[in-house]
Chains A and B, each alone.
Chain A
């Protein structure tokens, strides 16, 4: 493990690392607010952390356990309009939607940035998805690295955190009195330079502190890990006993929460919704865990058994076939499915059961 840490450490900021005094952070956020809509973690009802548009720097949270809902909605809203529909059956007019105005996602956690990267790969592969690309075009991602793993997180097993090598425009690391800012893209570099004098090049000492924080973070995961490799081998070759899927799916309540909070889930349905004086063709989140997901017009349902639906979810996320297509497992180790599952059919539990061939019962 320590070899791996030192290999990961030491390469901070592919496009340069900068530092900003904590006392200037709010000033910087003010300049971000002038550039476009800023979506950041805020204090929601009952103390929940909620990613939402902010209007003042004071609303932005800097110290928080990750939100229950990932910020994937910036790229995949629950209801995602595709085009406007006007007219009637005698003649229709279809109007595509205007380009997305610039937005900045501030303080996204590493796993969630990896989730956005996953979605980008999926929607750009094979046929490019124009609705997704339209939303992505104006988005700047500023991530906040995670020196302290969250209780259910296992991002380290998915190469999705706790610190990132890429996928961000800027990666922030909290060093106490200063905030380290690594530029990951030309856009991020420009954002730092445009901030005027608040940023200065990071010192060697600051960079090595960042690397030490990353190494300590990786070491502190302890037992909360998820070993995909052997589960992948078994799922990909169909060597998971039907009886095991049966037993595991007994613990699934079919609520679909695992898929709704998952940063990499993207299944959808298409519906027309009535807007102001016009219809809108929309895509809406759907879940492969619902029986109606595969219900055919004839009444036939190829996945009428819950076992087959649970199997489908893990095939899509963990099989080698999808790993090859999507360049990673469909999991970023955020641990949200562990938190929300009413039973225990979450990613680490199912992967462990497949690996060991027995369910915890």
Chain B
């Protein structure tokens, strides 16, 4: 019987510091790291086990177009993430999934794509961005708008520098509070909307960040003429089982872990808490 709750074992092969409290872990499955052992789509998530502590859900931050390893980016916020941060290369953890629906790439082909991320909200979109860049010719204009509290809180700094140099991607970054040496934008994410050309009729917007940011960004986008179906987000909820049984992530009769975590704004608006 395929056990819903039994994790597979995976080894941490690399751990990279992103910010003072955020680290990216590169994982390889013990029972075969070849492509195909863990088929997933961007936007899906994994239940990671630190044995003796428990398990928690984390989005996959890498792309299925680069299947050699799986990456997750984790901010320290509690017991399990503390325990995970105490681990390093060579250590073994458990992994269940992939869970959830993920982003529907087929509906995005041929469209202009706008990614709007706040703080630790970039990792869930990063796999999708990679996937889009690896199949770049299938998509229209690609814009990434990213904001964090301070320059130190920006994740994937090296990658942001790479993306900034590409001519097939427009990257705009802002911080709420500047630090010495920061010469970029200062202000909340929506200020970036006026610095780029938005095309509501032909675009899909992917939004991920703290709830307060999502609320302001979505309001702004709707005022700018984006349809509710064109604004797509991935929801954060307290989760335990990841397979639609434990009820922690239920909104009405929908389960974020099973029916989501990716929903259009229309779907989110129609859900009853």
Contact = CB atoms under 8 A, between A and B. Distances in A.
A94 interface: yes
Contact of B77 (A298, A316, A319): A298
Chain B interface mostly helix, strand, loop or mixed?
loop
Contact of B51 (A279, A283, A302): A279
B238 A270 contact: no
A270 B91 contact: no
A98 interface: no
Contact of B54 (A271, A300, A312): A271
B91 A89 contact: yes
Contact of B250 (A271, A286, A316): A316
Given A288-B247, A308-B273, A293 B238 contact: yes
A243 interface: no
Interface stretch (B4-12, B135-143, B155-163): B4-12
Contacts of A96: 3, 6
B169 interface: no
B221 to A, nearest CB: 21
B240 A270 contact: yes
Given A267-B246, A270-B240, A272-B54, A298 B210 contact: yes
A123 B5 CA distance: 13
A91 interface: yes
Contacts of A286: 240, 246, 248
Contacts of A89: 51, 87, 91-92
B94 to A, nearest CB: 7
A302 B273 contact: yes
Nearest to A305: B273
Contacts of B81: 297
B253 A319 contact: yes
B248 A293 contact: yes
B255 to A, nearest CB: 9
A283 B236 CA distance: 22
A252 B5 CA distance: 34
Chain A interface mostly helix, strand, loop or mixed?
mixed
The contact size tier of chain B is 35 or more
Nearest to A93: B9
Contacts of A229: none
B245 interface: yes
A310 B241 CA distance: 22
Candidate in B54, B77, B91, B243 with the most chain A CB atoms within 10 angstroms: B54
Interface in A244-281: 266-272, 274, 279, 281
A270 B57 CA distance: 12
Interface residues of A, number: 50
A130 interface: yes
Interface in B12-50: 49
Interface in A119-141: 123, 126-131, 133
B77 to A, nearest CB: 4
Contact of B3 (A90, A126, A130, A270): A130
A14 interface: no
B92 to A, nearest CB: 5
A152 interface: no
Nearest to B11: A91
A294 B52 contact: no
Nearest to B255: A126
B141 to A, nearest CB: 32
A296 B91 contact: no
A181 B53 CA distance: 49
Contacts of B240: 268-270, 286
Contacts of B92: 87, 89-92
A85 interface: yes
B1 A130 contact: yes
B244 interface: yes
B5 A270 contact: yes
B77 A126 contact: no
A238 interface: yes
A295 interface: yes
Given A298-B210, A302-B273, A281 B5 contact: yes
B237 interface: yes
Contacts of B246: 267-270, 283, 286
Contact of A85 (B51, B248, B253, B272): B51
Nearest to A300: B211
Smallest CB-CB A-B distances: 3 pairs: A321-B253, A297-B77, A267-B247
5 contacts: A83-B5, A130-B1, A269-B246, A272-B51, A281-B49
Given A130-B1, A268-B245, 20 more contacts: A126-B244, A130-B4, A130-B5, A131-B5, A266-B247, A268-B246, A271-B54, A279-B52, A286-B246, A286-B248, A294-B237, A294-B238, A294-B248, A297-B77, A302-B251, A312-B250, A312-B273, A315-B272, A319-B253, A321-B252
